[in-house]
Amino acid sequence: MDSKPSTRVDSAELKRRIVAAANLEWTRWNSGGVRREKDPHMQPILTQYWRGVGLPVTAQQLASKAFQASHPWSAAFISWVMRQAGAGGTFRYSSSHSTYIAAAKQNRLQKSNNPFKAYRPSEVRVELGDVVCKARDGSGASYDNIRPGMKTHCDIVIAVARGRATVVGGNVNDSVTRRSLPLDAKGRLASQEHFAVIKVGGGTIPSSGALRPIASRAVKTTASLAPASARSQVAPSPGVASRLGRTHYAAIDLGISDASGRVRPQTGIFAPVGWVPSASVDLVIYLHGIRAPEITIDSYWNASKHPEFALREMIVASGKNVILVAPLLGQRSQSQVGTLGKPGGLDRLVESVLDTLKKSGDVPPQARPGKIALACHSGGGLAMRIIAFASNRLSGAIQECWGFDCTYNRDDFEAWPRWATQRPAARLYLYYIAGSQTQPQALRIERQGLANVQVMRSRTPTHGRVPLTHLPERLVASRFFGSARRPTAMAS
């Protein structure tokens, strides 16, 4: 029995997180076209799945048809989703579905406090966040005889409507795939091939994996304009707690003016669920593109309004132990960066961000800046370039720059290679859309053949979807940022 302190599971919240995590994984595999398991871009994601169930794999193994055929990763996918959702030590993470199905059945039979319990499909209505399971390869697995080692497959229910359940599963057609299952008049699975439905509810969860409190309502930002000469003005922010983590909106004055006048001082700061505080705080600083006057950070990264800019969701899905920072720039973001483009501007922004996190208790009082990745979209490309070249104590902390369809500037082909040459240990990643205005500069940079610069044609032809398509892979592949969640001991 787990001796750690436990807290009561908010089962509805855990279900929402399971659905959100499953949807995000589907997005990672399907943005800009379906990706398959032997696609090199997907290898870092598969590596995460396998490591989550205690199996280190190599790039050579993942590229091998024989290895993939003998190592189905669908259970590792389910385990990853549960870990990302915050199931903590309550889920039996395994490379075999039958292991966690048998554990959930025992939880039910023993009337355990564990929230995961398995039922026969005839006993329960299908709901969001359920896991539906069937036998595979003629194993004969059933609710009565299920035991570890039997060949099975499970999917996660992400939608229920009009007599159908939409499910997401891994290693289906060598990818992450959605499909629809019929329900009967009472909302139960009509499919005869399924033998178990794992449901969430009513248990306890070890405190190390406890869900953060859920905010009863959104916390309004009350940032006032600070004088331009101020070093920074940080409004007290208790943070907005949600299924994703903890969000702060700090009134850090960057001294920016645009066509509408003084730009509202607002910097979004996000600590993902599972964030592990440490004395060294790694940051991803994201610079938006050209925006409408009414768009501020709280609306820009609101995934319900702008799903293509689901930045916080992508941070959560990556599992990386990083803080996301998104300052509000001018409407013409490429040149309207205010003090961020001046000597010491990045230093002051990061200092103010850490002040906010210290006051909220998200980082310890002695916390200091760690590694930094600069990321940008569209017109934010020039903003990223200006900041990368500005004189700051933290300039050496910038380990990577990620440009998402951003090479619009006629001298990018000279400036970015110069930065990369000056910073040989750092990395520059640029994505462009074929046939677009960003292609000429991107290809001129690529032709220079610098070892620490990688230029890639985007998989999506849609400008607004380039961050959604490629930010997840940059987060996952980054060699600088560690995992956000301490590994949970595997149950035997």
E-strand ranges in 301-417 read 323-327, 368-377, 398-404
- Residues 325-356, buried b or exposed e (16+ Cβ, 10 A)? bbbbbbbebbebbbbbbbeebbbbbbbbbbbb
With a pLDDT cut of 70, the percent of the chain lying above it is: 87
- Tell me how far the alpha carbon of residue 302 is from its chain's centroid: 14
**What pLDDT does residue 239 have?**
65
**What pLDDT does residue 31 have?**
64
**Tens digits of residue pLDDT in 282-300:** 999 999 999 999 999 999 9
pLDDT at 431 over 50: yes
Structure tokens at 126: 């299908």
Please say whether the dihedral angle defined by the alpha carbons of residues 168, 172, 175 and 181, taken in this order, is positive or negative: negative
Those residues whose C-beta lies under 8 Å from the C-beta of residue 85, and which sit 6 or more positions away, are 14, 17, 18, 20, 21
pLDDT at 454 over 70: yes
pLDDT at 238 over 60: no
Structure tokens at 439: 């292609």
Number of neighbouring beta carbons within 10 Å of residue 366: 8
CA distance 152 to 97: 6
**Tens digits of residue pLDDT in 62-75:** 999 999 999 999 99
Q: Return the biggest CA–CA distance within the chain.
A: 73
**What pLDDT does residue 204 have?**
55
**What pLDDT does residue 423 have?**
96
With a pLDDT cut of 90, the percent of the chain lying above it is: 66
Q: How confident is the model at residue 222 (pLDDT cuts 50, 70, 90)?
A: very low
DSSP state of 122: G
Quick one: the chain helix, strand, coil %, rounded to 5?
35, 25, 45
pLDDT at 227 over 90: no
Angle at 386 between CA 381 and CA 391, to 5 degrees: 150
**Tens digits of residue pLDDT in 343-367:** 999 999 999 999 999 999 899 999 9
Q: How confident is the model at residue 486 (pLDDT cuts 50, 70, 90)?
A: very low
Closest by CA to 290, choosing from 406, 451, 153, 133, is: 406
**Tens digits of residue pLDDT in 145-167:** 999 999 999 999 999 988 999 99
**What pLDDT does residue 480 have?**
79
pLDDT at 6 over 90: no
- Tell me how far the alpha carbon of residue 44 is from its chain's centroid: 14
Structure tokens at 303: 């995934």
pLDDT at 206 over 70: no
Q: Tell which wins on pLDDT, 83 or 154.
A: 154
Computed over every residue of the chain, the mean pLDDT equals 86
CA distance 101 to 198: 7
Residue 451 three-state SS: coil
Structure tokens at 255: 């001294």
**What pLDDT does residue 241 have?**
67
Angle at 407 between CA 406 and CA 409, to 5 degrees: 120
pLDDT at 402 over 90: yes
Q: Which domains, ranges and CATH numbers included, belong to the chain?
A: 6-206 (no CATH), 240-477 (3.40.50.1820)
Q: How confident is the model at residue 7 (pLDDT cuts 50, 70, 90)?
A: low
pLDDT at 370 over 50: yes
**What pLDDT does residue 154 have?**
98
Q: How confident is the model at residue 483 (pLDDT cuts 50, 70, 90)?
A: low
**What pLDDT does residue 484 have?**
56
**What pLDDT does residue 478 have?**
84
**What pLDDT does residue 8 have?**
57
**What pLDDT does residue 214 have?**
27
pTM assigned to the model: 0.63
